[in-house]
Chain A
Amino acid sequence: MTQRPGSGRSDHHLRNVLVWWVVLSVLAEIGWLVAGPLLMPAAASSDAVFANTTIVVFTALAIPVALFVWVFMAYSLIRFRVKSRPSEAGPHLVASNGQQIAWLGITGALCLFLVIWGLFGMYQASTDPPGRPLIVDVTAQQWTWTFRYPSAGVSSNQLVLPVGRPVEFEVTSLDVVHGFDVHAFSVRLDANPGSVIATNIVTPTRLGSFSVRCVELCGLYHAYMWAPVKVVSDQDFAAWLRDAAQGSRGGAGA
């Protein structure tokens, strides 16, 4: 913004603001790039890793933009404060063509980058890996999740998956709308009564324990509607399937 052409005091203030902006941006960027990845939730699939990376990168890009506004505002509020109401209007501000083109160009380029990044991520998420995925039927009801492995005839209240094997969840609800969310896999969609919706195919990429949560308010015990997720080795998964199948075949009926 141009205040009065040739005003030395204006250049002085502008220089101060820009110095503050650059210093704070550098400090904030360093802090975020060090601490940001540590704050991200566990990622157990390539989609989840990409989601976490996206958050880190987008925040890193947003920091200097946000600070640009905040530093200008804070500097103005502090440096140009007065105790009483001013009796005359401030200077007439006129932006040059070059400044406007620079502002629009920089912000436009940033937005374009974000769009391309997002499209790339969506393309990755929608590309199915080769081979047949493991199908898991997910049933939501007030207030629990149950999982069925049709290929093995096994049902469970825990979601157990083999590492490195693609899996597709087919999700439905028996009563109200629930939200099926496995944050570690970056999988989330509604569980609707009367319909079965398939998620994108995801591949668990690391061993560990995670959780399924309901993310759609569904009644009194919505907060308790969760289930453990365990990603195990192929051998452990096969053993678990065998044990679960034996357990479900026992006993006489009533």
Chain B
Amino acid sequence: MTERGGAPDQAREGGGARRAAGAVLAVAVGFALVLGAWAGLRLIAGLGYEPASLTAARSGPGQASISLAVYPDSYPCHGSASGAPGGGADPDWVTFCPTTSLRVPAHSLVTVTIREYDTATPLHNSFFATVRGTVNGSMLLNGRPVRQVSADQVGHTFTIQTPPNTTEPYLFVSVPLVGVSGSAPNAVTIAGHQYPKPNVIRFQFRTGAPGTYIWHCYVPCGAGLGGSQEGFGGPMGTTGYMAGTITVG
């Protein structure tokens, strides 16, 4: 090694200081990125709008019931509490109310009642016109038992699926929610808006061990609402509207 005096030493010291400063800056930038991502996720509450849970009411030993409604817009549960026009960020989006986060007890017979206020949209997949996974493989439509409906009469579906890689019991329940007639007169006022008399669908299914499941509507009812995707955009791809979770236990 040849020593030539102070200049090379000063150059080496300056280069070392720059490298150290660069390393510190890189760490700081990386930390800031991670912090920003964390803050952003907290701000949007994960995947999006995550409503508060609705817990099924106990109706007897090993039995519970829960009631939902599906509307052609978001005013009933995304607007202001007083019922004044609001509807949240997307008032014209179809939605399940009062919430899409549901909680039901484990090892129980759960009775679900859904009031369907919306009209029908033809199904892309006739598979969902059949009742599946319920007790007796049927549902009550306005008090009448049915197992299958016409694919062009379905307004929405309530379809429960099991997430992959889970230890909870496999569960698949799918119920077609018959839509009201497009010419039906308005008969009820909810949250300051008028809706026709709903179709009432009631069905039962059994829960097993505790776990978390997801549910969707599989009717392409998001057409023209915030994106295309053949009717599966907009509310169909946003939690809090046409998709949610069911927590068993």
Contacts and interface: CB of A to CB of B under 8 A. Distances in A.
Interface of A: 84-87, 139, 141-144, 146, 148, 155, 157-158, 174-176, 193, 211, 213, 219-221, 223-224, 226, 228, 247-248, 250-254
28 contacts: A85-B1, A87-B1, A142-B232, A143-B161, A144-B159, A146-B127, A155-B127, A155-B130, A157-B174, A175-B230, A175-B232, A211-B164, A219-B229, A219-B232, A219-B237, A220-B47, A221-B214, A221-B216, A224-B214, A228-B170, A248-B130, A250-B138, A251-B138, A251-B147, A251-B148, A252-B144, A252-B146, A252-B147
Contacts, number: 93
Contacts of A175: 124, 220, 229-232
A139 B125 contact: yes
B125 A174 contact: yes
A112 to B, nearest CB: 40
B132 interface: yes
Contacts of B174: 157
Interface string B21-42: 0000000000000000000000
B243 A221 contact: yes
Interface in B102-148: 124-127, 130-132, 137-138, 141, 144-148
Q: How large is the interface on B (under 10, 10 to 19, 20 to 34, 35 or more residues)?
A: 35 or more
Contact of B164 (A155, A157, A174, A226): A226
Contacts of A143: 161, 216
Contacts of B170: 228
B150 interface: yes
A224 B171 CA distance: 13
Nearest to B237: A220
B172 interface: yes
Contact of B172 (A157, A176, A211): A157
B2 interface: yes
A253 B149 contact: yes
Contacts of B137: 247, 250
Contacts of A87: 1-2
B163 interface: yes
A193 B147 contact: no
B164 A141 contact: no
Nearest to B214: A224
Contacts of A144: 159, 161, 216, 218
Contacts of A193: 230
Contact of A254 (B141, B220, B243): B141
B65 interface: no
